[in-house]
């Protein structure tokens, strides 16, 4: 007699579990405001080269925020790489080359040392666009952004322009 009670109860529990899963998978709420679970990115990566402080440095934080804004609008991927060790151009060059090997479409450099390193390799990478915050570059694929003013907004605009 007890066994007869548990079999139908088990069937009811399984049926309710299946119904709950189907409700979630099929978007049971039907709400148009439901947010997607994952962002779909284009095959475009925008990369930031920073000093040892990473994205927390004052210039780097503004550049990173601009990159994030552009990423949301243009569906690009954003990544960063901090130069570890001495603050010299010679030390920063391998980091720039690492970003180039990662096939970054746009490489942004925050800081004078990083900008100088980018300027040295830019001419040899004409398909990559470079943005430097401190520099005097004149290459066709290098854009200089003044670190004063609204750096975040300028970076957002530049990245969106360069990836389209």
Residue 30 has pLDDT above 70, yes or no: no
Confidence of residue 147 (pLDDT cuts 50, 70, 90): confident
Q: Can you give the pLDDT at residue 42? A: 64
Confidence of residue 32 (pLDDT cuts 50, 70, 90): low
Instruction: Indicate the pLDDT class of residue 51, thresholds 50, 70 and 90.
Output: very high
What is the spatial distance between Cα 4 and Cα 163, in angstroms, rounded to a whole number?
66
SS3 content of the chain, % helix, strand, coil (to 5): 50, 15, 35
Residues 58-69: pLDDT tens digits? 899 999 999 999
Q: What is the model's pTM?
A: 0.74
CA distance 5 to 1: 7
């Amino acid at each position: 007699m007890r066994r007869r009670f548990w079999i139908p109860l088990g069937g009811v529990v399984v049926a309710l579990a299946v119904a709950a899963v189907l409700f979630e998978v099929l978007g049971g709420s039907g709400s148009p405001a439901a947010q997607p679970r994952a962002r779909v990115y284009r095959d475009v990566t925008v990369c930031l080269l920073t000093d040892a402080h990473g994205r927390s440095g004052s210039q780097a934080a503004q550049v990173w925020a601009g990159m994030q804004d552009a990423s949301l609008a243009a569906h690009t991927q954003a990544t960063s790489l901090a130069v570890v060790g001495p603050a010299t151009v010679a030390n920063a060059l391998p980091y720039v080359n690492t970003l180039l090997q990662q096939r970054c479409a746009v490489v942004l450099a925050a800081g004078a040392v990083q900008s100088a390193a980018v300027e040295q390799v830019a001419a040899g990478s004409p398909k990559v666009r470079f943005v430097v915050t401190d520099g005097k570059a004149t290459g066709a694929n290098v854009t200089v952004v003044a670190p004063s003013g609204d750096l975040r907004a300028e970076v957002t605009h530049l990245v969106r322009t360069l990836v389209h």
